[in-house]
Amino acid sequence: MDRKQTYIGLLDAFRQSVIDPINPFTVDNPDVLVYNGRSLTGLYIPLKKEQDNPDLLLRRLFLSRLSMSKAVNTLLILAEESMHSFDNMPEVKAAFDKVYFYENERDLLNFLRDDIQQRTPIKSTIRRQRMRRFWGTIDFIEKHGIVLQDGYERMPAREELRVNSWSNPNKERHSRIAEYIHPYLVTSKNKTKQTFKEGYEDLMTVTTMFNYSMSDGILKNNTEADDTFMYLNAEGVEDVMKNVMNLRTMVFLGYLPGRIRLDYDLTGLRDQYYRFMKEKKYL
């Protein structure tokens, strides 16, 4: 499947479509948004890394779904090179409204002229809760700023964050840079020359699977995550903040970013944060 040529064909057939769409909440999006005159469909064409690690694809799917209009349908497109990538992973295919096996561009365009029915819409309460936490954290940052201590000390990872894989429920995933002892989830990220996606993608994936469980395409809140204070202690936090979308993505995941040393009063910051969120009725 020639992505570039397929994109050209989609734009010719559906002129109100968008290639590589962006949204104001996360860097995760479908590859294409197609509008056929009646309905809007997000197309997801798995990258090689998403074929190797389907949890990356599921994170991209659900973070984009949480941040986009509920009216957007989702279509997983499997071309020859990815046709059998998810054969033994029913959870992956169940997460999409429809799975399409690509053979040629003409058939794909004809398929998209018909409407796709949503199979597993996300509950409005889940969407509302995510958005309220996002805007509350943005409001908190604007009112109180971000803690930027001189120097940086990595938090000792006594208890690594461990979650169940969405694509393979029998498999466990973990993050070596995230320490989780309820009600604290503290991530310590050293400065890196990697791009934001390269440096934070695994953390984004594991955090998404901490915030929610997913079964048969249905997303459910993890109640333990609801009252967990999530702090991103990043040595290069200024680099993250240079691109507002990178900052917004981490906030959308639930993190309050900053740079602190081991002696910082994290309990005091947590109390201040939750007091603010409750007073402003974000929680």
Res 157: pLDDT: 64
Give just the sign of the alpha carbon dihedral 248, 217, 209, 131: positive
Res 176: pLDDT: 86
Taking CA atoms, 120 is separated from 50, 117, 208, in Å, by 21, 9, 18
Q: What pTM was estimated for this model as a whole?
A: 0.95
Among 56, 81, 112, which residue terminates a domain?
112
Among 56, 86, 112, which residue terminates a domain?
112
Same domain, 166 and 263: yes
Same domain, 43 and 149: no
SS3 assignment for 200-222:
HHHHHHHHHHHHEEEECCEEEEC
Same domain, 174 and 216: yes
Average pLDDT across the chain, whole number: 94
Res 35: pLDDT: 97
Instruction: For residue 174, list its beta bridge partners.
Output: 162
Same domain, 60 and 165: no
Q: Is residue 261 part of a domain?
A: yes
Same domain, 86 and 16: yes
Among 57, 90, 112, which residue terminates a domain?
112
Same domain, 36 and 172: no
Q: Is residue 167 part of a domain?
A: yes
Taking only the tens place, the pLDDT of each residue in 164-216 is: 999 998 999 999 899 999 999 999 999 988 999 999 999 999 999 999 999 99
Residue pair 36/14 in contact (Cβ under 8 Å)? The answer is yes
Residue 247 has pLDDT above 80, yes or no: yes
Same domain, 73 and 168: no
Taking only the tens place, the pLDDT of each residue in 7-28 is: 999 999 999 999 999 999 999 9
Q: Is residue 119 part of a domain?
A: no
Q: Is residue 118 part of a domain?
A: no
Res 10: pLDDT: 97
Instruction: State how many domains the chain has.
Output: 2
DSSP 3-state assignment of 119?
coil
Q: Is residue 82 part of a domain?
A: yes
Same domain, 273 and 139: yes
The boundaries of the domain holding residue 24 are 3-112
Same domain, 137 and 178: yes
Q: Are strands 229-234 and 184-189 parallel, antiparallel or unpaired?
A: parallel
Same domain, 266 and 129: yes
Taking only the tens place, the pLDDT of each residue in 117-159 is: 999 899 999 999 999 999 999 999 999 999 999 988 887 767 8
Same domain, 104 and 175: no
